[in-house]
Structure 1
Amino acid sequence: MSTTTYSVPTAKKSGKTLLTGGVAALAGLMFGLDIGVISGALGFIAKQFSVSETMQELIVSSMMFGAAVGAILAGYLSSSFGRKRSLILSATLFVVSSLLCALAPSVGWLLAGRVLLGVAIGVATFTAPLYISEIADEARRGSMISTYQLMITIGILVAFISDALLSYSGAWRWMLGLVAIPGALFLAGVFVLPDSPRWLMMKGRRQDAVDVLNDLRQDDAAVQSEIKEIEDQLRNKQQGFAMFRANSNFRRSVWFGVLLQVMQQFTGMNVVMYYAPKIFGLAGFGQNASLWGTAVVGVVNVLATFIAIGLVDRWGRRPMLISGFAVMAIGMGILGLLIFAGIDSELQRILAIAVLLCFITGFAFSAGPLIWVLCSEVQPLQGRDFGIACSTFTNWAANFVVGQTFLTLLSTFGNAQTFWLYAALNALFIVVTITLVPETKGISLEHIERNLMEGRKLRAIGR
């Protein structure tokens, strides 16, 4: 009697890969909730505790300080304990810190909760894109990492809507505390994730890595090919900072990741996210109208991210980044011009909202998701934890600078001039993209690494 072995259907395995990546991408949901929630709560917190504009900037930026610390810790945690356990720690901190912020009896306790919340975000923003890039196949890697950015935008939208609904009663503690609920759901989901096959290989657990890939890939040949590629890359024993010091090609990829994150933060997007009600106030809207206008910003942010998910693996990284930076430069430039001329009529207010939404769209389909995609793609395997830790730390350090300086820029540099500054930076980023950014769509991580280590120009490592 012959025995026939049936493989798991391709569609089922494909769905499992997407589900695994989707659960990991919930880290982005938590990230988005915590970015968005402070914009609506800040005004009420300022009134209750009678805090100055400088202290308001500190309340906003304290989370970014914690996130920078978390990003530094994440490299060690992810390498030593694994991507999955790092996500479990992050989810736990999300729940604890959200409750601490909601129950804070003073500004000091609120700042402590915000810093701890930042640590959770720093670990998550390092680990989740890295984990997704390592369980995804090259054909869907860009869209799956972009799903992480989609979850960020959904989190921001949910936070904006809940802020608007709770604004009528001024219940800022509920605004901050509700984040603990999805945090608990995220924590439960992470427990069912498999470990990253690349991390398992780095720890010498070859059979465990094969078992994970057998669950995720479409056939045995694909599994064996991927295992061989990972083994080939692991023959280089240099790791982390030692590799950074010894290998000039690795230094190029690290500094490139740092540059990409600076570019993302200095587009001005998080200025809009953290201070959207303030910006709507500059356009002549009242407090409740500003919060609902902020919710509209969240809706556009979500919808435009679907453009990235649909096109990133077809159109490519470079053309989408160039288009996005162009849209953002134009949007910020026109908004600054309108504020400079004075927004007095209903038509001018509508136009101001329209260009702001154009700016949001430009970010959501380009720099928002694609910077994370590129940062996870360009780092070689043996130095990936260190390289992504450096770029994630830079993200939050730059984010801290943006959050800490926006209100000060408005009061000293001028409202219109501040928006023109961000317009000029976006125009500069078009030039940087054309000069340095590689096209990596459809290229395996191992092929990108070989090109990098052979000394090819950064722009050519995806060929």
Structure 2
Amino acid sequence: MVGVTPAARSGGGASSSQKTTGRATFLGILAALSGLMFGLDTGVVAGALPFIATDFHAGAAMQGWIVSSMMAGAAVGATFAGRISVSFGRPGAMLGAGILFLVGTLFCAFAPGVALLITGRVLLGLAVGVAAFAAPLYISEITVESARGAMISFYQLMVTLGIFLAFVSDSILSEGGHWRWMLGIMGVPAALFLGVVLILPHSPRWLMMRGDTERARKVLRMLRSDEEVAEAELADINDRLSKSSDAGYGLFRSNPNFRRSVFLGITLQIMQQLSGINALLYYAPRVFEAAHFGTNAAVWATTLVGLTNMVFTGVAIRYADRWGRRPLLLTSCVIVGASLVGVGAVLAFGGGSLAASILLCALILVFVAGFAIGEGPLVWALCSEVQPTRGRDFGIGCSTVTNWVANWVVSSIFPLMMLAMGASWTFILFAAFNGLFVLITLGFVPETKGASLERIEANLFAGVPLRKLGEPEGNGQ
């Protein structure tokens, strides 16, 4: 039996010594399946795009719009995701996303022209924007701190699994150029996801924000293995909620400490997008073709990229709560930056030799592996962890919108950058951004391993420097 310590009741971590329960893990995995949908719809366009371009006579600019229309929709979806999540709960938001996933898939599969195809991509983007907001938030609110990093990283693993499965599907269907099947097959997991969401309970923090203490207590007792720990966590949440009457934008306007956490989340999402990962994932076949891979070989090489992404995200899941966020994130930035310099050099000087092609493929796989251990999963984890209870929907909403706006900008201009700057200098530019991110991580990113959400919140409002938010209260000044 784990006793309720004074430290636990004051926000030091009501469940700091708790292991996650099977129920909490199971529900977290179900919520993480929204990441599978995210990944499927992100990855499928890479293999379908060359065939869509041929059938619809789409040039580089139009291809950029086809790809980036989903990002534009996601930015809009993320903008309203906070309000939807507050009104209908995190599972309610995911249910709406599931419906949009299904409808958007049908639009894309049966589109007679570019206009309806882009409409379908926008609907999928709306779904992704809402789901990418609600799922990590939900997982962070139902999981104990000892497993929170791994569980939120599991969401990213589902994203990478979706990307990998989409690449495999594209590779199989690429022989006949069946791009409609590539897009339409996504309807099957969309329908399954809709059924899964219906069994998710509301998170205790959302119920407490609605004033429904008894239901929050019931859910917490189901999620925690010890009733005293559940009661202590309930007291922590209530204490945090009672200390401020402001919430959301009102809290953002009135509290400079909350503004710090919001701007940190925004910065982290910009870091992720300027790492270069989505430019590669959306246009991977084109990058490989630039290195003189054939079209089908380029699609299969892209599938290997998806597999690497998935495998090394598993590394992040295993070590995020052992090694910590900061060491993994710093390692990730260094590996990504160094590998991109290598990619740029090979594209500039390697020519079309077999050795150069093999080296390019290896460097891209190293790049993807580096991203997957840190910049991919840990950005979502940190953005969910550093926001206070009353501002969590607003803060995560801001960072998620930023993610998709930056994603849209990068995916829109990447084909034009490739034409104007050349592939080599384009990737060297992304490498330079990763060097900057090392400095940002050292100066501002906190180590949140093992810290309760309540402790992080208390430190934030006490004015503790951002990089020390995860330290015990009173030790971060």
TM interval, shorter chain, is over 0.9
TM-score (normalizing by structure 2): 0.94
Distance 1:449 1:16 in 2: 26
**Over the residues paired in the alignment, what is the CA RMSD in angstroms?**
1.2
Deviations 1:24-57 (A, max 9, x none): 0001000000010000111111111111110000
Larger mean CA deviation between 196-205 and 344-353 belongs to 344-353
- The aligned counterpart of 2:142 is 135
The 5 A counterparts of 1:249-268 are 249-268=257-276
Distance 1:89 1:220 in 2: 33
Which residue is 2:411 aligned to? 403
1:197–1:212 CA contact under 8 A, matched in 2: yes
Aligned to 2:9: none
For 1:69, the equivalent position in structure 2 comes to: 76
CA distance in 1, matches of 2:328, 2:465: 21
Question: How far apart, CA to CA, are the structure 2 residues paired with 1:344 and 1:115?
Answer: 38
Q: Deviations over 1:173-221 (max 9, x none)?
A: 1101111100111110110111111000100111101111111101111
Instruction: Give the Cα separation in 1 of the matches to 2:176 and 2:346.
Output: 33
Post-superposition Cα deviations, 1:266-305, rounded to whole Å, max 9, x if no partner, equal 0000011100000111111000000000000011011001
**What are structure 1's unaligned runs of at least 5 residues?**
1-10
Measured against aligned partners, the alpha-carbon deviations of 1:299-323 in whole angstroms (never above 9, x if no partner) come to 1011001110010001000010000
Q: Does 1:242 align with 2:250?
A: yes
Q: Residue 459 of structure 1 aligns with which residue?
A: 467
- Report the 3-state secondary structure (helix = DSSP H, G, I; strand = E; otherwise coil) of the residue aligned with 2:145: coil
Shift of 1:345: 1.7
CA contact 2:337–2:435 (8 Å) conserved in 1? yes
Q: 1:13 Cα deviation (Å)?
A: 7.6
Number of the residue aligned with 1:326: 334
Matched, 1:339 2:347: yes
- Aligned equivalent of 1:31, options 8, 18, 38: 38
Which deviations, in whole Å up to 9, do the C-alpha atoms of 1:426-450 show, x marking residues without a partner?
Answer: 1110011011100000000000000
Query: Structure 2 regions of 5+ residues with no counterpart?
Result: 1-17, 472-477
Question: What residue number does 1:294 align with?
Answer: 302
Alignment of 1:32-181 (within 5 A): 32-181=39-188
User: Shift in Å at residue 414 of structure 1?
Assistant: 1.8
Q: Distance in 2 between matches of 1:297 and 1:410?
A: 20
Q: Deviations over 1:99-148 (max 9, x none)?
A: 11101111100111111110000000000000000000111000000000
The letter of the residue matching 1:424 is A
**Could you tell me how far apart the structure 1 residues matched to 2:187 and 2:216 are?**
33
How many residues get paired? Answer: 454
Structure 1 counterpart of 2:25, from 18, 32, 51: 18
2:217 is aligned to 210
Q: Which residue of 1 aligns with 2:474?
A: none
Give 1:343 shift.
Answer: 3.0
Letter in 1 for 2:399: S
What is the distance in 1 between the residues matched to 2:265 and 2:20? 32
Q: Which residue of 2 aligns with 1:226?
A: 233
Moved beyond 4 Å, runs of 4+ = none
Q: Which whole-Å CA distance do the structure 2 matches of 1:174 and 1:113 have between them?
A: 15
Q: 2:385 aligns with which of 350, 362, 377?
A: 377
Listed one character per residue, the Cα deviations across residues 390-446 of structure 1 (whole Å, up to 9, x for unaligned) are 000000000001100111011111221101000111111001101110000000000
